[in-house]
Structure 1
């Protein structure tokens, strides 16, 4: 299975940090945010990764190269003018084409999580598997309801937040172009047809959307790093 990291956003909520640095290269505990995803993908057995980019994308390519330093093979989907999330995936599909699997592991570039990606296995009876987690303070209403039988639906009590980590089947994007817009409506349509499953993650997850949240993550990971060294 191949993976795709969505990294084409301008990071406007992160300004002024993103005026000269693309958001995926902002650092937490000394490492670019996107490096955590690459490490987790390798640990989960993924070897081929596609990264889409637009804003300051050359910096991403210069920093990550062909992926060899991470034990991966990285290809780039260059958008120029950033597409929305579903459109970006559609644009990258030729790079993601793989005879071995019609499933793609997709990760938003602006999150951090300790979720174990090896937990993701393609469900036999749906077109998507989304990782959901507890609602953060800045998003108390959540996104989707996870039923007792593991299905995700657009509305319902006790909604959870979509983590930005998912397995998506190519069928989701049939008939769509790179002007398809955001991924949310595509997922909601599939949910209405009973084609989306959910997996709850009780662990750590951060939507690194503002400088304040980046600083908090930097402190958290820095403390964790110092504790691990202290215990050796």
Structure 2
């Protein structure tokens, strides 16, 4: 099965972080956010991926290349105008054959969850929508399910009928594209995938699949911290750099090549110290922290549950 990743959004809700950097390249847990998504796809058994790019798309191409370094084959499609999720998926028709997995580029999901969803599709042999349970469903597209089948979809209802929401991950067949072509613009001027799915439901059963594990919608800057903590949780520590004898590393701490950790620094994992970073002397770095390349954390500083981007002092 091939996969498409929708990563063309401008990330307006992430500004000013996205003023000069496309949202998919924002650093989370020591690497660009989009890279985590691609690694999850690879872990789920996907080897061919097409990425939809838009604003500053050339920087995504430059960062990921053809995917060889990730063990993937990556192709790209450019969306010149953002017109909704249905339009975005429709742009990818030349990159898929048969059933395909579509993943929104701004969600955190594990490879295990994606593999389970693919296995579920193999059992039901029909379109599948990933579902997540949230405490604030009125902020999302709410999904009603009966006997495993989707019976209703409602965008951001005032009175949700369920805590299950559309998680932005789908398995469709190629027959979704004619339905996308027939989907009218919504009142907000976009082609909504929920409208397309409702039309699909008139023709065949559509199944819901509740994702195991954590799912995070990364829409605003503070969501990056949740994503950072979740993606750092399985980190395996290693030291590839210069750590003074008087420094203390506790738990899973990854120190990348060229970094320097000076005497008196106390670092608790899970934490990533980026290449060329300088830590200490006499500072305290607490768990769920991602320190970017060539960043400096000096004397008497304390950092916790944070993302420090490249070159920060």
Q: TM-score range by the shorter chain?
A: 0.7 to 0.9
- Equivalent residue number for residue 113 of structure 2: 116
CA 1:220–1:38 in 2, change beyond 3 Å: closer, same or farther? closer
> Where do residues 85-124 of structure 1 align in structure 2 (5 Å cutoff)?
85-96=85-96, 98=97, 102-114=98-110, 115-119=112-116, 120-121=118-119, 122=121
1:203 maps to 2:213: yes
* Matched residues, number: 226
Contact 1:5 1:107 in 2 (8 A): yes
- Equivalent residue number for residue 188 of structure 1: 198
> Where do residues 26-45 of structure 1 align in structure 2 (5 Å cutoff)?
26-45=26-45
1:185 and 1:7 mapped to 2: Cα distance?
A: 21
The offset of 1:219, in angstroms, is 3.4
The offset of 1:59, in angstroms, is 0.8
- Equivalent residue number for residue 63 of structure 2: 63
Q: What 5-or-longer segments of structure 1 have no aligned partner?
A: none
1:173 maps to 2:177: yes
Report the structure, 1 or 2, having the larger helix content.
1
CA 1:84–1:43 in 2, change beyond 3 Å: closer, same or farther? same
1:210 and 1:104 mapped to 2: Cα distance?
A: 28
TM-score (norm 2): 0.65
Pair member with larger Rg: 2
**SS state at 1:66 partner:** coil
> Where do residues 158-169 of structure 1 align in structure 2 (5 Å cutoff)?
158-169=162-173
1:90 and 1:117 mapped to 2: Cα distance?
A: 21
The offset of 1:124, in angstroms, is 6.7
The offset of 1:84, in angstroms, is 2.1
The offset of 1:151, in angstroms, is 0.2
- Equivalent residue number for residue 144 of structure 1: 143
1:142 and 1:93 mapped to 2: Cα distance?
A: 24
Q: Write the deviation string for residues 17-68 of structure 1: whole angstroms up to 9, x where unpaired.
A: 1111111111211111111111111111111100011111111101010000
1:228 and 1:153 mapped to 2: Cα distance?
A: 44
Q: Write the deviation string for residues 47-92 of structure 1: whole angstroms up to 9, x where unpaired.
A: 1100011111111101010000110000001122234221122222
CA 1:186–1:144 in 2, change beyond 3 Å: closer, same or farther? same
The root-mean-square deviation of aligned C-alpha atoms, in Å, is 2.6
Relative contact order, higher structure (CA 8 A, sep 6+) = 1
TM-score (norm 1): 0.86
The offset of 1:224, in angstroms, is 4.7
